[in-house]
Amino acid sequence: MRSGEVLSEVANRDKDHARGWRNKLLAFARALRRAMLVHRDSARLSLAASPVEDPKVIAERIAAPLVEAGLSARLALSYCASVIAYTVGWVAYEQSRSMHAFLVQMIDFPESLDAGLRALVGGLTNSPAVLAKSAKRPGSVHSLRSVARR
């Protein structure tokens, strides 16, 4: 399983069924979880493997449904990255026998994942000012890039 292929496939799978960028982002995360759970240790492997796909191609594919729904490409990628990180982390716990056995005593995995995703995505905005503010914050990746360009 190549992570870039999975991301591309998942991004385009349900893109026409969900309306609005938030719903498309939620559908993407849910589909990513389902795709990862099919492959044993996929979360751990996706973190350890070196990407072989062209990052520009993958970025364009995963951002496309959100861009079509009105987000800028930059904002769409930022939000996809947040949802991917959340989902991969969640799947890592689901695929870990010991953590799964421990956590299942406290939570329902699908229900808790969905509640967290809805909270995460619900807090996102379609304003480019969000990224502009982070660029001005000391220590942010964007502020470090602007310093490096000088």
Residue 91 has pLDDT above 50, yes or no: yes
Give domain 3-125's CATH architecture.
Orthogonal Bundle (1.10)
User: Would you state the pLDDT for residue 97?
Assistant: 92
Pairwise CA distance, residues 130 & 98, whole Å: 38
User: H helices of 14-124, where?
Assistant: 21-38, 42-48, 55-68, 73-95, 97-103, 109-122
Q: Is 63 helix (H, G, I), strand (E, B) or coil?
A: helix
Question: Mean pLDDT throughout 59-80?
Answer: 92
Domain spans of the chain, in order of start: 3-125
pLDDT at 122: 94
- Residue 44 is encoded by which pair of tokens? 């751990």
Q: Report the mean per-residue pLDDT for the chain.
A: 80
Q: Could you tell me which residue, 11 or 72, shows the higher pLDDT? A: 72
pTM for this model (two decimals): 0.76
Query: Rounded mean pLDDT of 118-144?
Result: 67
Confidence of residue 148 (pLDDT cuts 50, 70, 90): very low
pLDDT at 142: 46
